[in-house]
Structure 1
């Protein structure tokens, strides 16, 4: 194991995200720049999902320094929300990728970030029970799941999936809420990558600031 980290960002690209499209692009790009500025080595996978393409890989396990910013050409909201399919496939794909890496090079921290504004409504391959089991197994191995949601029902659903409330953040569906959510997540993840915190966790004051 190494001091390097891997970050996966699973990004909701469904039609309801259209109203905050530019904010999401800006939030992700700020997040990316802050992670790239950190001295610790790391890799990133960026996946966006909707019912037309439940798992579109934009960046596949690339060194952070090589990851390109998100653009309006890449991020085009549309369709509905196969959240379970995206999560299930993402976890299995990352599991396979990590298993293929020699122990000496395998990331010591795995941080899985989900950003959405809606409740599951379109999955065909995975259901809540299967995804919950996958999340439970990976959390037991030390993976950390961070859930950023602009929808209360989806936020509550994350708890039922086994994503801890401490690492979940409900944000207002507007520029300020979006910006605060990305900024808080970025800071917490940088602390984890640096080894200066034991977990990604949001306090009540931070929750209030993202409303």
Structure 2
């Protein structure tokens, strides 16, 4: 059976040109997020992908102790759908190739963006929604959607992400948003160590207020 002590965290980070205004805040907030997860109970491995109109893996399946500081170089447009499709399908293939004992008991996919889809060619909203819902229902993957200056609940649910796991944030509240996300991820990882049926925490109203 999958390793109940192991979490694989996939982080899909927008690096489109509009992220320039929150570059430093995003780098600092992400590094704090990693630091908090590093201190949490259980083992964690991290895959970081960045996207604009292209998609790149920064590192894959890295022990969280070895994760370097984030370097974000904003550029380009926003191929959100294609990037989500690539990340989810390649992650699924990689996990399927592992022996069952080596697979993580917990899989979390966090998506952070400040823009709306404007550059995808391969994936559509309905196809991504179906894929996310499939991974959630069949494999118990947990998805988080963090959207700046937008109705993240509306956008997130259109992508298959639960409303309670989607959060809107303003450009001046990157640190608060990543702190809230980190707290929920940490609590979920701890709960999963005790019970494989533990639910993913939803963003509280207080967390949402602090992110606005």
TM-score w.r.t. the length of structure 1 is 0.93
Partner of 1:64: 64
Question: Going by fraction, where is strand more abundant, 1 or 2?
Answer: 2
Q: Which ranges of structure 1 fall in alignment gaps of 5 or more residues?
A: none
Provide runs of 4+ in structure 1 moved above 3 Å.
Answer: none
- 1:208 has 2:209 as partner: yes
CA RMSD of aligned residues (A): 1.2
SS at match of 1:77: coil
Whether the aligned pair in 1 keeps the contact of 2:146 and 2:166 (CA below 8 Å) is yes
**Aligned residue among 114, 118, 121 for 1:121:** 118
Higher alpha-carbon deviation: 61-70 or 15-24: 61-70
**Aligned residue among 14, 17, 20 for 1:15:** 17
Q: How many residues align?
A: 204
Partner of 2:195: none
Alignment of 1:78-97 (within 5 A): 78-97=75-94
- Deviation of 1:151 after TM superposition, in Å, equals 2.7
Q: Which ranges of structure 2 fall in alignment gaps of 5 or more residues?
A: 193-197
- 1:191 has 2:174 as partner: no
TM-score w.r.t. the length of structure 2 is 0.93
Instruction: Tell me the distance in 1 between the aligned counterparts of 2:127 and 2:19.
Output: 26
- Deviation of 1:39 after TM superposition, in Å, equals 2.9
Instruction: Tell me the distance in 2 between the aligned counterparts of 1:26 and 1:155.
Output: 25
Alignment of 1:83-162 (within 5 A): 83-140=80-137, 141-153=139-151, 155-162=153-160
Output one character per residue of 1:137-173: Cα deviation in whole Å (capped at 9) or x when no partner.
0010200000111031554221112111100110111
Whether the aligned pair in 2 keeps the contact of 1:12 and 1:49 (CA below 8 Å) is yes
Instruction: Tell me the distance in 1 between the aligned counterparts of 2:145 and 2:80.
Output: 12
Instruction: Tell me the distance in 2 between the aligned counterparts of 1:35 and 1:172.
Output: 23
